Structure formats: C-alpha cells, structure tokens
Amino acid sequence: MNLELVLFKACPFAQRVVIILDHLGVSCKRTFVNPSDRPDWLFDLSPMGQVPLIKINDTQVIFDSVAIGEFLNDLTHGTLLSADTLERGIQRALVEWAGTCQRAFGECIAAADEKAWHRAIDDLSEKLSWVEKLAHDSGPYLMGERFSLVDAAMAPLFMRLQALHHVVPCYDSEEIPKMARAMPVILTMQAVQGSIEGDFSRIFRMMVAGRGKGGYVDSRMG
Ligand SMILES: N[C@@H](CCC(=O)N[C@@H](CS)C(=O)NCC(=O)O)C(=O)O
C-alpha cells in the first residue's frame, strides 16, 4: 500500500500521525503544505482544508488524525488500542478529548494579558484533570503497560506543555501524578523525539509569536 501524509510542519494533530507511523514502522511519503498558503487541492481532499490527511494508493483519502490513527493501527494489526471493548471505548474517548485539551492549550499561548492567561490556564487544567482521572494508576504509559493511541494523541501536547513550563510554570506535577509519570517516558521515545523536524524550542517560539504576539507568554519569552 502506497501512503502519503499531507501535513503542516508544526501541526500537533499531524504530529500524532507521524508518531504512530514511526512507532508502527509504517513507511509513508510526507508532503508539507504551507499553512498560510494552502493549495486548492487540499480543499478537494479534506472538507475544511485541514491537515493531517493521508492519501492511499493516490486514490483514496482519510482525513482527521483520530481516524488516521485507527486506520494505521488496524492496517498493521497494531496494539495501540486495548483488546477489551470497554477499555477501548475509554481510550477512544480520551483520544478525542486530547484534541479539546490541545485547543485549550492554544488559548493559553494566545492569552493577551495576565487575566486572559489565568482564565486559559485554569480551563486547560480543568480539561487535563479528565485525562488524569481516566489514566491508569500504574504506568509507564497513560493507559498502563502499553503505548496506546492515547499516548500518541497527548504526546504533541506534552511536548508543548513542557516547553511552556520552562517559560511560565503551567502545571503542578503533584496535582497530575499520572501524567507527570508518563510525560518523560513518552517524550523520550524515539518516535516522539523524531516527530518534529528541527529545533523544537525555536518552533515553539514561532508558535507563540504566531498565536499570541505581544501577549502574556510571548512577553515572557525574552
Ligand atoms: N480534528 C482534526 C483537527 C486538525 C486541525 O485542526 N488541523 C489544523 C492544523 S494543526 C488545520 O488544518 N488548520 C487549518 C484550518 O482549520 O483552517 C484532526 O484531528 O485531524
């Protein structure tokens, strides 16, 4: 099967797919698109012209990182979702929820001032508390012994949270012990480390400048 992933360089949703591809050992061509100059063909392949999308044998397309992740896992008879029906349902719910957390993170780096920052960080903490609540008591990964689609969905957010934490403290490990336990394990995985091309701290700086120029986080970046 011939696969081609269409992505933006710093898109956290596309990064999930890169992690899954690498973890499963699936080879796939990558086509980068400029987010500020999206080609017309992107809108022919994906309803909102969003990335990621994956082309299969140049004829079929699957859009949305959640659907692509499940497709790749099915394709390889992978173990990124639990064999247990109930556990699999919870994992799927968390993969979806990770997207909501990711968007809440975007509001944090976009905060115009301190008041907006506190509002955004409180909202993110509240959203992350659901991941903490549903994560397994024992690790090393969020859902137990095995790396799962939940870890792949949260990895790009963990990378960004860690970068933000160096600039402005944005979480208390004692309040999120299960995530704090899984975060370093996930972030040091080869598939995660290799999922962003280039220096992530530079990319993060650009993300903040793009979303929140002159705002609370940007003004603290020095
Ligand atoms: N639910 C989608 C979200 C994808 C998404 O928001 N992609 C962003 C880039 S990170 C995008 O294409 N933004 C352009 C737009 O929404 O117009 C997924 O999980 O794939």
**pTM, entire model:** 0.97
User: What is the rounded CA–CA span in Å between residue 52 and residue 156?
Assistant: 14
What pLDDT sits at residue 222?
Answer: 76
Cβ atoms of 22 and 196 closer than 8 Å: no
> Model confidence at 32, in pLDDT bands (50, 70, 90)?
very high
> Is the CB of 106 inside a 6 Å radius of any atom of ligand 1?
no
Average pLDDT, the chain: 97
Tell me the CA–centroid distance for residue 49 and ligand 1, in Å: 8
> Which protein residue's CA is at the shortest distance from atom 10 of ligand 1?
11
Q: What domains, with CATH codes, occur in the chain?
A: 3-75 (3.40.30.10), 85-220 (1.20.1050.10)
Which of the listed residues 6, 8, 13, 107 should we mutate to test ligand 1's pocket, taking the one with most ligand atoms within 8 A of CB? 13
Average pLDDT of the segment spanning 80-102: 98
Name 29's bridge partners: 4
What pLDDT sits at residue 2?
Answer: 97
> Is the CB of 68 inside a 6 Å radius of any atom of ligand 1?
no
Give the CB-side neighbour count of residue 33, counting CA atoms within 13 A: 20
Sheet holding 3-7, edge to edge: 29-32, 3-7, 53-56, 60-63
Cβ atoms of 38 and 49 closer than 8 Å: yes
Average pLDDT of the segment spanning 196-213: 94
Atom of ligand 1 nearest to the CA of 11: 10
